[in-house]
Structure 1
Amino acid sequence: MARSSKLYHQFIHIRTFVNAKVKWVRDPDLDIAVLKEKDLKEIISLKNHIVSSPSKSLSIYNASMLKSSLNLPTTTIKFVEKHRHVFTQFQPSPGLPPRVKLTPQALSLHNEEMAVHNSETNRQDTARRLARLLMLAGMTRLPIYVIEKLKWDMGLPYDYVTTLLAYYPDYFDVCVVEDPMSGKEVLALELVSWRKELSVSELEKRVMYYGAEKRRLDIQFPMFLPKSFALEKRIKTWVEGWQKLPYISPYENAFHLDSNSDQAEKWTVAILHELLSLLVSKKTERENLICYGECLGLGSRFKKALVHHPGIFYISNKIRTQTVVLREAYRNEFLVKKHPVMGMRYWYIHLMTKG
């Protein structure tokens, strides 16, 4: 018993895996999962601008002014012409400049999408996931610009400030905090009160579902490595020992741990794992994760953890950026469990690639 306690103490305080080179191996299936959403975010963003207009249309000039803010890959005119099953141009009357609106199919999808967002079930699910996002690492506040970065992958409605937040005043409030990045005061979203019932991670829920007799401390992360991938022996040995370390909930404050210890890294991975689990797409741009990590004071730890654990996280280099994918959430290029918001997005992809 004493020997076991001594080994545990060493695991907590000694770093055994410093700056190891873990090679990156391409995963074609997960690259496809990322690639098939190319232009999707931009299409839905432009769609939202159109339907927000009183006339449900935009002049070509006004639509062109959105290129930069929507991060369109080309001019707005070319983008509209490329996706002709989503957008259509028309001239309201002779002599007036042309305008762009949604096709009947796209407008029908938009109405279905809004029905999903406005359903009581989805609204409650979104509020709870957003609350859990604020609770990670024992925090309760997050600058709104960080939430904006994660807004798409969280599946938040485009008008979430006036709909979702206003609908749950007992959950959320807006406050002012000092931005850890710039030191300036910024608006932040605050959790009104800590919700203990929500502070159970997805991995803990699985343990509770499959067998209450299994101790939560024994939780290990699911690992899915490509067939062509093989960890070198010393790294594989380290991972096996690291997996046996106690699991600390991502909703606990564990900043007391030595930041260079293996135990601290397991807690960091737990936060990353839970964060990706909260997203409807189970993936997001690497930049978004690092930005979130910087707000927690874990930016450098996030960077290392993403590289050290290719069996848990996959980094795709497709679509002009780096996207972090939670491996266990996918089988081949398909989501294992499809959120209703993602179900609607796949219908948009079908319309984009039609004909």
Structure 2
Amino acid sequence: MLVIWKKSQNTDALASSLWRRECGNPWVIQRRFMARERKRKRIRQVSFDVMISREKHVRQALWLKDLLVTRPGHTISMIDFREEVKNLGMRVRRLYYLLEYYDTLFQTRVDRAKVEWIELGEDGRRIVELERRLMAEYEPCLVENLRKLLMMSEGEKICLKRIALLREPLGLPHDFEQNLVHKYPQYFEVVIAKDKKYRDLQPFLKLTSWDPLLAISRREADAEESERDPHSFRMRFPGVKFVRGRDAQFLKSFQMLEFPSPYDPNHGYPKLSREAVKRAVAVIHEFLCLTQESKALVDSIAEIRRETGIPKKIGELICRHPGIFYLSWKGALARHPHMEVVYLKEAYSKPYEGERLKAARLLRKGPLVQVKEAMALTMWHADLAYDKRHGTDCFLEGRQFPMITYDAFESTFQSELYREQKIKYENL
């Protein structure tokens, strides 16, 4: 018995060694297969990744501006500022350049108790006033987008905490609960219900009246205007050879499926069916159309996942449809794990010829994008003024230029802010 056991053991070892030699290690094959699948599903497009790098300083300046606006007197002490930055997981010294280079946006002062404070500068106050004026002017548009978001959710209600996390991409004001919710009782009401995520009673924003005229998605409206296929999405791929073989068959069958309306939460499709997947893609597509820049963080979409019927693996769903969306990992690679940004491709066009950094151009601009462009233009002129005073070059020092595109010049070239910044720069 002992000899037979040894013989069988040697035979099994010999067979396994021959199998590995002929077929290779199964775990290596699986890893290679997974890497090949991941590479096939996602191909990097520099035009979208460059936008995140160019907007880095502008996003930080807008964050500091929003922080000051929420504080009484639009001021914050340096101690509280450091605590807020640490809570975000950032380093304080990396934001000190905002106070050094852009003194027209943010200023520092020391009171009698020798406490250092940060406050808005002259240009910062004008940008805040511009934002208030735009929000008052386009308030009906913001209310309509919020109504559409509630119409896509199950039960026509979403937790107020989750809507607060969606405030930035949707362009809602800081005090939207007082200015929008209570201002329009014919559309909204606040109810108390149990939330599955927080597992306790939470205030929910509920829609009081259904409007069938709003239950038309952007894709359906574009299909009626251009007389395109009413069931297909508009796609754009990075290359001609990108779609072939099984990918082409999958996309063809996916496009031929009947288009499910994202404003029908009680659709009755089985989970993970082809129809349910297409409806999830339609919901993400419609949500990105409601945002100001046709882009959002993946975490922002995950906040409304349960209410809208989107599956858990949102990143895989987005990567599965590279012709409709683009998932950028630029922020995640830069030590920001929650900065995976998804873009709606049809809202962007190719970069301009001769542009130094090949960044995509935004075609569908929300009204509040002007605030971002005004901030970028002010920072650009502040960089030029700083270099002229000190005889330096921002490119040589490693300071990246803010998000300056030709679209920003077209929309703000005749503005009062641009003329005043130009006069300041010429008089230095």
TM-score of Structure 1 vs Structure 2, range by shorter chain: 0.7 to 0.9
From 187, 198, 210, give the equivalent of 1:171. 187
Q: Deviations over 1:286-316 (max 9, x none)?
A: 1221231134343326444212101111011
SS at match of 2:178: coil
The equivalent residue for 2:133 is 115
The equivalent residue for 2:24 is none
From 90, 93, 107, give the equivalent of 1:73. 90
Is residue 2:178 matched to residue 1:159? Answer: no
Is the alpha carbon distance of 1:104 and 1:255 closer, same or farther for their aligned partners in structure 2, counting shifts above 3 Å?
Answer: same
* In 1: Cα distance, 2:100 partner to 2:302 partner: 33
The equivalent residue for 1:322 is 340
Can you give the 5+ residue segments of structure 1 that lack an aligned partner in the other structure? 1-19
TM-score w.r.t. length of structure 2:
0.71
Is residue 2:141 matched to residue 1:125? Answer: yes
Is the 1:173–1:190 contact (alpha carbons within 8 Å) kept by the matching residues of 2? yes
The equivalent residue for 1:340 is 367
SS at match of 2:343: strand
Q: Deviations over 1:321-350 (max 9, x none)?
A: 211111111113221022120121121123
From 60, 63, 67, give the equivalent of 2:81. 63
Is residue 2:294 matched to residue 1:267? Answer: no
Higher relative contact order (CA 8 A, sep 6+): 1
Deviates more, 1:328-337 or 1:59-68: 59-68
* In 2: Cα distance, 1:317 partner to 1:234 partner: 26
The aligned runs of 1:208-287 (5 Å cut-off) are 208-211=224-227, 218-227=230-239, 230-287=242-299
The equivalent residue for 2:107 is 88
Which runs of 4 or more aligned residues in structure 1 lie more than 6 Å from their structure 2 counterparts after TM superposition?
Answer: none
1:62 CA displacement: 2.7
Is the alpha carbon distance of 1:56 and 1:242 closer, same or farther for their aligned partners in structure 2, counting shifts above 3 Å?
Answer: closer
* In 2: Cα distance, 1:250 partner to 1:52 partner: 34
Is the alpha carbon distance of 1:242 and 1:337 closer, same or farther for their aligned partners in structure 2, counting shifts above 3 Å?
Answer: same
The equivalent residue for 1:10 is none
1:256 CA displacement: 1.5
SS at match of 1:270: helix
From 48, 64, 86, give the equivalent of 1:30. 48
1:23 CA displacement: 2.3
Can you give the 5+ residue segments of structure 2 that lack an aligned partner in the other structure? 1-36, 351-359, 384-428
* In 1: Cα distance, 2:203 partner to 2:60 partner: 25
Is residue 2:378 matched to residue 1:351? Answer: yes
TM-score w.r.t. length of structure 1:
0.84
Paired amino acid for 2:158: L
* In 1: Cα distance, 2:346 partner to 2:291 partner: 13
Q: Percent identity?
A: 23
* In 2: Cα distance, 1:330 partner to 1:219 partner: 22
Is the alpha carbon distance of 1:303 and 1:32 closer, same or farther for their aligned partners in structure 2, counting shifts above 3 Å?
Answer: closer
Is the alpha carbon distance of 1:68 and 1:158 closer, same or farther for their aligned partners in structure 2, counting shifts above 3 Å?
Answer: farther
Is the alpha carbon distance of 1:229 and 1:169 closer, same or farther for their aligned partners in structure 2, counting shifts above 3 Å?
Answer: farther
Structure possessing the higher radius of gyration over alpha carbons: 2
Is the 1:33–1:334 contact (alpha carbons within 8 Å) kept by the matching residues of 2? no
* In 1: Cα distance, 2:86 partner to 2:162 partner: 19
* In 2: Cα distance, 1:79 partner to 1:255 partner: 51
Is the 1:50–1:101 contact (alpha carbons within 8 Å) kept by the matching residues of 2? yes
Is the 1:72–1:79 contact (alpha carbons within 8 Å) kept by the matching residues of 2? no
1:68 CA displacement: 4.0
- Let me know the Cα RMSD of the aligned residues: 2.4
Q: Deviations over 1:146-188 (max 9, x none)?
A: 2122110001112212212222121111112222224322221
1:83 CA displacement: 5.5
SS at match of 2:253: helix
- Structure whose residues are more often helix by fraction: 2
Paired amino acid for 1:56: H
Is the 1:42–1:72 contact (alpha carbons within 8 Å) kept by the matching residues of 2? no
1:221 CA displacement: 0.5
Is the alpha carbon distance of 1:351 and 1:240 closer, same or farther for their aligned partners in structure 2, counting shifts above 3 Å?
Answer: same
